[in-house]
Amino acid sequence: MGKIVVGFSGGVDSSVTAKLLEKRGYEVVPVFLDGGFSDAENAQRSAAALDVPLVIKDIKEEIEKKVIGPFTNAYLNGETPNPCVMCNPLVKFATLIAAAEEVGSHKIATGHYARVRFDGENAFLCRALSLKDQSYMLYRLSQDVLRRCVFPLGEFRSKDEVRNLAREFGLPSAETPDSMEICFIKDGDHAAFIEKRAGAPKDGNFVDEDGKILGRHLGIHRYTVGQRRGLDISASSRLYVSEIDAVSGNVVLSDRDVFKSEIDVKNTVFAPGFGKEPFSAGVKVRYSKNEWAGEVFPDSSASRARVRFKTPARAPARGQSAVFYAGDTVAGGGIIE
């Protein structure tokens, strides 16, 4: 089967991925991507259990430039970014492909829960069989990358199956907890992270939909559209963030939950066969199980699109990704404006 480079954190998903590929006959080359957020100790231990040497690649500079900096700026601009969506194509998979070239391998693999299917020379990203499906995070991978990808965990129906396999294989990662959502924010407090990097962003006003001042807030980076918890403001009814204005610093609150019948999307990418004509799709407006039926209308350049929902979608936020599904196939996606 030849060599295959595996993105390798040492956790249960990457360890089982490596073991499965070894059993298929591949010569596994585990590559630890060092972003400066965790040491390679777990990866070293898991690689030793597989009896293969670990390769370490330093991605600190790239992740700072292409992910963390833009993530911080997006929040300061009133957006709600998803850093993994950009990190995967721009840093992680790019680094894995470069590592594969170095060892003379064409294939790369990760422990993502997703699948790839082929139709002739075209590669299509598809949902995993598991509810843990992570295709949303990978929708921006290009054809050149997808043709080289192997996602063994996409065929499993639950994380429990993967953990049971890890126990069966005797892997030290079998009981390790799932990784955090944003790797560079260890405690999950993105507001504190941004404040440490950018200084305390200016505070501003909470206002109602008519512009009436309701109170003060501590910075727009603390809020996202649809948020109702943590507002720390007294009101006679439940309030939701309906809009964030980075210019004025106002956070608009509404006593109605936020639903949109249509959205505009920029920086769109499309799978082969999509993007030239309008098409029906299931649309996710954030990484969750929720999906809304809609119609996607690409512009003539296929770099933008308008999405019209059959029933209004809850809380699409600027900076998040809208990902389009044709059945189990990722048809495309882009950044919500």
Which residues belong to the active site? 87, 183
Helix (H, G, I), strand (E, B) or coil at 66: helix
Distance of CA 303 to the CA centre of its chain: 20
Question: 10 phi and psi, to 5 degrees?
Answer: 95, -5
CA–CA gap between residue 47 and residue 110 (Å, rounded)? 14
**Cα torsion through 225, 37, 59, 288, rounded to 10:** -30
Helix (H, G, I), strand (E, B) or coil at 168: helix
**Tokens of residue 1, six digits:** 């089967």
Q: Contact at 8 Å (CB) between 221 and 194?
A: yes
Contacts of 69 (CB under 8 A, 6+ apart): none
Rg (CA), the chain: 21
Partners of 330 in the beta sheet? 325
Q: Contact at 8 Å (CB) between 17 and 10?
A: no
CA–CA gap between residue 274 and residue 320 (Å, rounded)? 21
Of 298, 332, 337, 297, residue with least CA distance to 320: 337
3-state SS, 212-246, equals: CEEEEECCHHHCCCCCCCCCCCCCCCCCEEEEECC
H or E stretch at 78: none
For residue 57, the 8-state DSSP code is: E
Measured CA to CA in angstroms, residue 50 lies from 16, 167, 249, 287 at distances of 10, 13, 53, 32
